[in-house]
Amino acid sequence: MQFSVVIPARNEAEGLRTLLPEVIKLLPGAEIIVVDDGSEDGTPGVCVGAGVRHIRHPYPKGNGAAIKTGARAARGDVIIFMDADGQHRPEDIPALLQKFEEGYDMVVGARQSGSQAGMHRAVANDVFSRFASWMVMQPIADLTSGFRVVRAARFRQFLYLLPNGFSYPTTITMSFFRAGYSVAYVPIHSPRRSSGNSHIHPLRDGVRFLLIIIKIGTLFSPQRLFLPVSAGFFLTGLGYYLFTYLTQGRFTNMSALLFISAVFTFLIGIVSEQISALHFKDIDTKDVAGD
């Protein structure tokens, strides 16, 4: 297998000065691509000095856009994604590759306790991971980790789904699970940023993460969302009907509306499942072509 290392970077010259020599030493002969997302510091010069591929966006497009650019440009069969800010340690790469060689399609570095930049992010990541695990019916140890090893051909199948912002790990993780690809997690410790400031806004990006979980979940397994909503309408309507029957001796319009909403929501879920099946057909075709 040939390896490509894709590192998205925006104003991360200081981090790259330390990171690139370590990656080059660890993976001699691997293709190393730094996708410069419109940096205004010395990032281009650091890349030239290290002798790695430097692809520059003319203006900041977002972390996800940089990931997509790197994935399209990578020549390797296997892509290693990692950040440039010092939170992903090159010495953890061998552990990810060792797990990957067991036959997995994607291996993710799962950050352990003490790795998060703050308690609020740790709690948010845990909540999102639990919700996403329920949506895809598989345990997800770390939903938002950007440190991962993937099979390039299978990763590219989902490029059209990836957002341009910081929630690409959420999308690709749920997409791999729902497509039936094998995903594994390797415990890692992620230190605090060695330089620069985070571009993530907890409230704004948290809402985006939640919406993406719902979007991807309904795209690949619609009934996981529509069936509970339908059941909620039905049970509420039934409870309200029993209440009005016992207190007023009649069946109200509100109960009828709730029952109708339950039926329509259930039918929408069935139609969505059929559309999802067509999506899986396209994925299988791409997979054969990629292999």
- Per-residue pLDDT tens for 150-177? 999 999 998 988 888 777 888 898 889 8
Q: Is 48 exposed, middle or buried (0-12, 13-18, 19+ CB in 10 A)?
A: exposed
pTM of the prediction?
Answer: 0.78
Statement: residue 257 has pLDDT above 80 = yes
> What is the spatial order of strands in the sheet that 106-111 belongs to?
53-57, 31-37, 3-9, 78-81, 148-151, 106-111, 183-188
In the chain, where are the structural domains located?
A: 3-217, 223-290
Statement: residue 199 has pLDDT above 60 = no
Q: How far apart are CA 235 and CA 262, in angstroms?
A: 9
Q: How far apart are CA 28 and CA 21, in angstroms?
A: 10
Q: How far apart are CA 245 and CA 251, in angstroms?
A: 6
Annotation: CATH topology of 3-217: Spore Coat Polysaccharide Biosynthesis Protein SpsA; Chain A (3.90.550)
Q: Mean per-residue pLDDT for 174-191?
A: 87
Two structure tokens written together for 215: 């979007």
Report the pLDDT value the prediction gives residue 282, as an integer from 0 to 100: 61
Q: Which of 19-33, 171-185, 211-225 has the highest mean pLDDT?
A: 19-33
CA-closest candidate to residue 146, choices 130, 125, 127, 160:
125
Q: Mean per-residue pLDDT for 243-259?
A: 89
Statement: residue 201 has pLDDT above 70 = no
Statement: residue 267 has pLDDT above 90 = yes
Report the pLDDT value the prediction gives residue 200, as an integer from 0 to 100: 53
Spatial contact of 134 and 219, defined as CB atoms under 8 Å apart: no
Give 198 or 149, the one with higher predicted confidence: 149
Partnered with residue 36 across adjacent β-strands are 9, 56
| DSSP 8-state symbol, 36 | E
Q: Mean per-residue pLDDT for 72-79?
A: 96
Pairing mode, if any, of strands 53-57 and 31-37?
Answer: parallel
C-alpha angle 40/41/42, rounded to 5°? 135
